Structure 1
Amino acid sequence: MTVDPALSALAKPIESGQPWPRPACPKCQAGYITFAPPVEDESHSSASARGHDAFEPEWITGTFVIRGQCENPECQQAVHGTGDYEVGVSRLSGEDHDYDYSYGPPYSSYLTVTHLHPPMLMMPIPKSAPDEVREGVMRASRVLFADPGLAATALRATVERFLTSAGISATQPTGQFRTAHERINEWRDADLTRPPIADLFFAVKWLGNAGTHEDSDLTTIEVLDGARVLDEAFHRLFLGPDIDAHAKTINAAKGPSRLP
């Protein structure tokens, strides 16, 4: 599995009237979320500006709410979202638009998601992963759209949660906290097969460091790139050995391995 591409699509402004991305259901992971048309609510300041002599459609802003539901009939999980919208020149041609004037080009609303509940998982979680890893990914997913910097920090913390579950202490004998860099190095050096995975952990760590800065300008797309890196690390850790073992049974049977 890889990071859901629908999340990257949801991280970008969506022009009104266009089909919404269909992310994997956060509950069953078998169905996809289908969203109903959003309901827009223009802000008071925006509505007040409509009477200005110099009014232009680009002045229009507001918020929106949207509801989605899992297509899986055995799940039907509801998902509620909120966000902001602003009006801009439409990128569509030959279509109905939200705002048509006798002058100038047609305009549409562009909607940006700021929150989805329950949150969409930013990356799949292997069933064999420790509970600490599962909770770390959930924490990052909750703030993915609202605060990408915080989401990146939570991803870095997920790496540290894994290290703790693997027996790499978070503190020095003196009680001082150890850096993530130091802990990754210790984990890496304990096994000759680990350096490639450690490099992936380091990449997530650096991204998380950038997210902690006061002036962090990380985007949701950049955080999802970090999630792809962490997904690959966990794939190798938790799924790779199982796949290798399965391949051996196929090789031994010289074909499908079937129980009698």
Structure 2
Amino acid sequence: MPVDPALSVLAKPLESGQAWPRPSCPTCQSGFVRFSSPTEVESHESSSARGHDAFEPEWITGTFVVQGECENPECRQSIHGTGNYGVDYSDRSNYDDYGPSYSSYYTITHLHPPMLMMPIPGSAPDNVREGVLRASRVLFADPGLAATALRATVELFLTHAGVAATTPSGKFRSAHERIEEWRDADPGRPEVADLLFAVKWLGNAGTHEDADLTVIEVLDGARVLDEAFHRLFTGPDIQARARRINAAKGPSRRP
């Protein structure tokens, strides 16, 4: 499956009363997570300001908690979420004689267990799998760190592929140099290498002290890496399956 579009919806503030997206369950990966209504906890500063003569609803801020559960009856994985909320003009209501209507807006900062940022091919090595999980854990809390973790996932793949992470003298090699070596080892790899370079550049941007990457931008990087891994892992698996069917001239029942 491609990168879950529900994650892009969760990356944006959700208005009170708006239907929450149903992301794929990170545990069974076959069910979908249904979220309950958030529970708001107004901040002390916000509640103290309510007595001010100039108080406006837009001053209200706080945190919220939300709970989800996988709809797959064989799974029922619980998901716990937290984040920040604030009050602003409603996007779903019209002005009336009494002025504008207001709504709470919820911004997710953490989900546990984390939603998988991208699918992990079954034939991917364990270190690559762990790299994707690491990036997924911080996607909403720190997009820059998530982008850096995606770049590290590329480097973990290169290590698995036999491209050394250090020079003979023990000096660390750059990701760019390692991708070039991997690309040059096989003339059929330039397109996949371009995908890996793109993830590398995004990860570089995430490491800067003034990094301002958004969750949406990191998810774009995950789509690029997903395509690279599809070509590296999923594509060969499907081709091997096709060869077995062709050889059997019908269904192949080899394990």
Specify if TM > 0.5: yes
User: Counterpart of 2:76?
Assistant: 76
* Gaps in structure 2 of 5+ consecutive residues: none
Task: Name the SS for the 2:87 alignment partner.
Answer: strand
Between 1:149-158 and 1:188-197, the stretch displaced more is 188-197
Residue 57 (structure 1) aligned with residue 57 (structure 2): yes
User: Counterpart of 2:222?
Assistant: 227
For these two proteins, the number of residue pairs brought into alignment is 254
Q: Deviation at 1:252?
A: 6.4
Q: Deviation at 1:102?
A: 7.2
Residue 185 (structure 1) aligned with residue 180 (structure 2): yes
Task: Name the SS for the 2:34 alignment partner.
Answer: strand
Q: CA RMSD in A?
A: 1.8
Q: Deviation at 1:248?
A: 4.2
Q: Describe the superposition over 1:57-107 as per-residue Cα deviations: whole angstroms up to 9, x where unpaired.
A: 11110000000000011100000000000111111137xxxxx99742000
Residue 38 (structure 1) aligned with residue 38 (structure 2): yes
Looking at structure 1, the residues matched to 117 and 157 of structure 2 have their Cα atoms a distance apart, in angstroms, of 17
Residue 175 (structure 1) aligned with residue 148 (structure 2): no
Q: Describe the superposition over 1:203-232 as per-residue Cα deviations: whole angstroms up to 9, x where unpaired.
A: 000000000000000000000000000000
Residue 257 (structure 1) aligned with residue 246 (structure 2): no
Task: Name the SS for the 1:80 alignment partner.
Answer: strand
Q: Describe the superposition over 1:113-158 as per-residue Cα deviations: whole angstroms up to 9, x where unpaired.
A: 0000011110000010000000000100000000000000000000
Looking at structure 2, the residues matched to 245 and 63 of structure 1 have their Cα atoms a distance apart, in angstroms, of 50
Q: Deviation at 1:253?
A: 7.1
In structure 2, which of residues 118, 130, 136 is the aligned counterpart of residue 135 of structure 1? 130
Q: Deviation at 1:22?
A: 0.6
Residue 117 (structure 1) aligned with residue 90 (structure 2): no
Q: Describe the superposition over 1:33-56 as per-residue Cα deviations: whole angstroms up to 9, x where unpaired.
A: 100111001111111111111111
* Identical-residue share of aligned pairs (%): 75
* Gaps in structure 1 of 5+ consecutive residues: 95-99
Q: 1:258 to 1:178 in 2, by over 3 A?
A: closer
Q: Deviation at 1:258?
A: 5.6
- Amino acid in structure 2 at the alignment position of 1:86: G
Looking at structure 2, the residues matched to 77 and 215 of structure 1 have their Cα atoms a distance apart, in angstroms, of 37
Looking at structure 2, the residues matched to 231 and 223 of structure 1 have their Cα atoms a distance apart, in angstroms, of 12
Task: Name the SS for the 1:185 alignment partner.
Answer: helix
Looking at structure 1, the residues matched to 93 and 50 of structure 2 have their Cα atoms a distance apart, in angstroms, of 26
Looking at structure 1, the residues matched to 175 and 64 of structure 2 have their Cα atoms a distance apart, in angstroms, of 39
TM-score normalised by the chain length of structure 2: 0.95
Q: Deviation at 1:193?
A: 1.2
User: Counterpart of 1:29?
Assistant: 29
Looking at structure 1, the residues matched to 96 and 63 of structure 2 have their Cα atoms a distance apart, in angstroms, of 23
- Amino acid in structure 1 at the alignment position of 2:236: P
Looking at structure 2, the residues matched to 223 and 214 of structure 1 have their Cα atoms a distance apart, in angstroms, of 17
- Amino acid in structure 2 at the alignment position of 1:257: P
Would you say the 8 A contact 2:245–2:252 is kept in 1?
Answer: no
